[in-house]
Amino acid sequence: MEEAVLENPLRRLIQSPLRVLKEMGVKLGDVLMDVGCGFGYLSIPAAELVAPTGLVYSVDVDEFKLRKLRERARSRNLSNLRTIRSEAWKIEEVDSCTVDVAVMFFSLHHFEKLRESMEEAKTKLRRGGRLFVYDPIRTRFAGHGTSAEEVMKMGIDLGFSLRSLKKRGLTYSIELMKS
């Protein structure tokens, strides 16, 4: 069921992963960490985009999704994608200060420890590295999501500099930089 929603072809039309990655400025050679990667909606095109010299760390708590992701990566001959089973707030397999771009693509609202997860992403980013959060906007009527303003404030409190905050209908994106 979850796979049918997350991997729906209609989603690719509305929310093209390649367009998102271009918008984020992801390029050949980058090291990208996709936190709450699911079945690899962003991770697979990201690995293709950063190859052959770049690397993608795909982090999720759900081994079922990671196994599917590994199968997909294998079938596309992608050798630059590493799956990591881990909570978002303690990603031991990624060295500190090694990541160019970290992304939480519609996953932050699932994490029990939001602040700690953003702090962990900051630890893994190199100086000048950027964290992108895409999430549904939480409203009084739709509890599913997060508040863009609260996430922005949390990022600033953690010492990130705010690069942008964009709202598009029911979703938002925030770009934060580790200076």
Ligand X SMILES: C[S@@+](CC[C@H](N)C(=O)[O-])C[C@H]1O[C@@H](n2cnc3c(N)ncnc32)[C@H](O)[C@@H]1O
Binding site for ligand X (CB under 6 A): 6, 36-38, 41, 59-62, 65, 87-88, 105-107, 110-111
42 vs 152, which CB is nearer to ligand X? 42
Could you tell me the smallest distance in angstroms from the CB atom of residue 132 to ligand X? 11
89 vs 177, which CB is nearer to ligand X? 89
105 vs 160, which CB is nearer to ligand X? 105
Could you tell me the smallest distance in angstroms from the CB atom of residue 77 to ligand X? 22
Could you tell me the smallest distance in angstroms from the CB atom of residue 88 to ligand X? 4
6 vs 158, which CB is nearer to ligand X? 6
Could you tell me the smallest distance in angstroms from the CB atom of residue 145 to ligand X? 11
Q: Please identify which residue in the block is written with the tokens 């367009």.
A: 19
- Of residues 110, 109, 86, the one with CA closest to residue 33: 86
106 vs 172, which CB is nearer to ligand X? 106
Could you tell me the smallest distance in angstroms from the CB atom of residue 38 to ligand X? 3
Q: What is the DSSP letter of 139?
A: -
- Please check whether residue 56 is in contact with residue 43, taking contact to mean a CB–CB distance below 8 angstroms: yes
- Of residues 153, 154, 94, 99, the one with CA closest to residue 130: 99
Could you tell me the smallest distance in angstroms from the CB atom of residue 103 to ligand X? 8
Crossing angle for the helix pair 63-75 and 43-50, to the nearest 10 degrees: 40
Q: What is the DSSP letter of 95?
A: -
Q: Please identify which residue in the block is written with the tokens 């029911």.
A: 170
d(CA 57, CA 47): 9
61 vs 142, which CB is nearer to ligand X? 61
- Name the residue with the smallest CB distance to ligand X: 38
- Please check whether residue 138 is in contact with residue 144, taking contact to mean a CB–CB distance below 8 angstroms: yes
- Please check whether residue 62 is in contact with residue 88, taking contact to mean a CB–CB distance below 8 angstroms: no
